[in-house]
Every structure is written in structure tokens, then in C-alpha cells.
């Protein structure tokens, strides 16, 4: 194809690349935002395990060691699990799923995350037509 077949008469391009506005995958199928969340949560879990152990054994080096180990396990194990969960779903699925879970389980927090804009009704829907 020639280069001019992709340009309209008004000078605009006929197509846009499919993945133009997607966040790039950084590590193990996670985008940068998901990687930060995964590192933060797994680092906090490592701190929760490492702090009592460092107090028990009277050495401060155990806490940062467990933080690093927690992040490593969180990225590799959690990244694999998240990658399988996201496969075949839209780009915003994870964020909407988290927003929906918080809105349904913790209604007081729904206002902070925009959960009131979600449709959370469950049940039968009708179109108000009567079968004849």
C-alpha cells in the first residue's frame, strides 16, 4: 500500500494504533500502577511478618530482609495470579473490580473512590413489556 492511502482528504489518519492509550506492561504482565500496588501490599505484609521476628530475635536486619522477600514473592507470585485474572478482559477491568468490591462491601468508602457511580443493583431486570 502506498503511504497516501492511509491519509484522508482532510489530512487526518484513517486508523489509530490499537494499543496507543494502554499502559505498557512492565514486569510479569503488570502495568506500572499495578506493580506499585503489588509492591506496596507485599512489602507491608513483609514488614508485618519481619517486625515481630526482629523484635523476637533482637536483630533489626530481619525486618528489611522480610520486606525485600515479601516484595519479591509478591511480584512473582502475585503478578502471575493477576496476569491470569486479567487475561482476556478490558484494560480497566481490575480497577472497576476493585472499585465494585469496595463499594459493595464498604459503602462508607464508596464516596471516596467514586463507587456511587457504579450500578450495584442485583436482581431481575424488566423492560416493562407484557407478553401477549
Q: Are residues 85 and 59 in the same domain?
A: yes
Q: Contact, 120 vs 105, CB < 8 A?
A: no
Tell me if the pTM is above 0.85: no
Q: Which residue has the cell 443493583?
A: 121
Q: Are residues 85 and 26 in the same domain?
A: yes
Q: Contact, 59 vs 73, CB < 8 A?
A: no
User: Do the domain assignments include residue 110?
Assistant: yes
User: Do the domain assignments include residue 10?
Assistant: no
Q: Are residues 58 and 101 in the same domain?
A: no
How many structural domains does the chain have? 2
Range of the domain at 44: 20-89
Per-residue pLDDT of the chain (132 residues; tens, 9 = 90+): 455 566 667 766 666 665 666 677 778 878 888 889 899 999 999 999 999 999 999 999 999 999 999 999 999 998 888 888 888 888 788 888 888 888 888 888 877 877 777 776 777 877 777 776
Q: Contact, 24 vs 44, CB < 8 A?
A: no
Task: Work out the angle at residue 58's Cα, subtended by the Cα atoms of residues 54 and 61, and round it to the nearest 5 degrees.
Answer: 50
Amino acid at each position: 500500500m502506498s503511504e497516501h492511502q492511509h491519509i484522508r482528504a482532510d489530512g487526518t489518519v484513517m486508523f489509530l494504533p490499537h494499543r496507543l492509550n494502554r499502559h505498557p506492561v512492565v514486569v510479569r504482565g503488570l502495568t506500572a500502577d499495578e506493580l506499585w500496588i503489588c509492591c506496596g501490599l507485599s512489602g507491608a505484609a513483609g514488614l508485618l511478618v519481619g517486625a515481630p521476628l526482629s523484635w523476637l530475635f533482637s536483630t533489626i536486619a530481619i525486618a528489611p530482609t522480610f520486606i525485600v522477600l515479601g516484595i519479591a514473592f509478591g511480584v512473582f507470585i502475585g503478578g502471575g495470579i493477576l496476569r491470569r485474572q486479567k487475561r482476556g478482559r478490558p484494560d480497566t477491568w481490575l480497577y472497576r473490580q476493585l472499585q465494585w468490591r469496595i463499594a459493595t462491601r464498604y459503602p462508607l468508602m464508596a464516596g471516596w473512590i467514586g463507587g456511587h457511580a457504579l450500578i450495584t443493583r442485583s436482581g431481575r431486570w424488566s423492560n416493562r413489556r407484557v407478553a401477549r
